[in-house]
Amino acid sequence: MSAAQDPNIPDFCDVLVIGGGPAGLAAALSTPSTLNVVVVERRELPSRKACDGILTPTTVRTLGTLGINPATDLGGLPLPTMQVIDRDNDRTWQVPLSGHLGVNRLGLDDCLRRRFLARPGAVFLEQTRALGFTTSVAGHRLELLRAGQRASIRTRHLVDATGALSWSRRRTGQAGPCAVALQACYPAQGPCPRFDWIFDRSATPYYLWAIHTGEDLKLGGVFPLRAGRHGW
């Protein structure tokens, strides 16, 4: 099926971003408003991500350049300290933080997506899988799979914002990551933000975390990724 047969998929765009998370949407919003931009996201939204909810000062400043104030627009709560728990050596200490905020990750994603879709010519293709691309002097052509049907888009600029398990890494045969992040979320009450960084080799050779941003409690960690079980 060609792109022209699906009214949701344009034949051409100036910039095509693979990945509709904060990185991909920030990249899309950073382009000149005169450009037509398409964002392709394979997941069904809303979708949670492991180790979410913490904004560093750099991230806060970057969102500010996009016209987003995390404190007012996202209800961000200051995180004054990070507690480091070293269970291997039975030690605990506090690390002061400056300018860090705890936010609702789903709210952040939604805010970025709404701002992107408010731009002229913006297209967000949810549940759309990037299959492959070809490159020529004129630009790139990306092959897509959407609702069980194939399509393609021509673009001048192609951006991969799919993270550690990156789409372009897989397509070019590069080695993937050796670990995976897993996280569970639980209801939590009370505006008492907390960020615990935990080291416990009986659980994982990497690290664990507990993040309380006022709305929920997130417990997660980074664990070794078994060969052949990377989900690509």
58 belongs to a structural domain: no
- What is residue 44's DSSP assignment? P
| Model pLDDT, residue 164 | 67
Q: What is the pLDDT of residues 155-186, one digit of tens each?
A: 999 999 987 667 677 666 776 778 888 898 88
9 belongs to a structural domain: yes
195 belongs to a structural domain: yes
Q: Tell whether 218 and 118 lie within a shared domain.
A: no
Q: Is residue 232 pLDDT above 70, yes or no?
A: no
CA distance 27 to 130: 18
Q: Tell whether 12 and 117 lie within a shared domain.
A: yes
| The residue to which tokens 């299959």 are assigned | 131
CATH number for the domain including 1? Answer: 3.50.50.60
How are the residues of the chain apportioned to helix, strand and coil, as percentages rounded to the nearest 5?
Answer: 20, 40, 40
| The residue to which tokens 């021509």 are assigned | 154
Q: Is residue 12 pLDDT above 60, yes or no?
A: yes
71 belongs to a structural domain: no
| The residue to which tokens 């990070």 are assigned | 82
| Residue 207 domain boundaries | 76-102+177-232
CB distance 102 to 76 below 8 Å: yes
Q: What is the pLDDT of residues 54-88, one digit of tens each?
A: 899 999 999 999 999 999 999 998 999 999 999 99
Q: Tell whether 125 and 158 lie within a shared domain.
A: yes
What tokens does 198 get?
A: 């935990």
Q: Is 51 left (phi over 0), alpha (psi -120 to 50) or beta?
A: left
Q: What is the pLDDT of residues 27-53, one digit of tens each?
A: 999 999 999 999 999 998 888 776 678
Task: Name the residue with higher pLDDT: 194 or 21.
Answer: 21
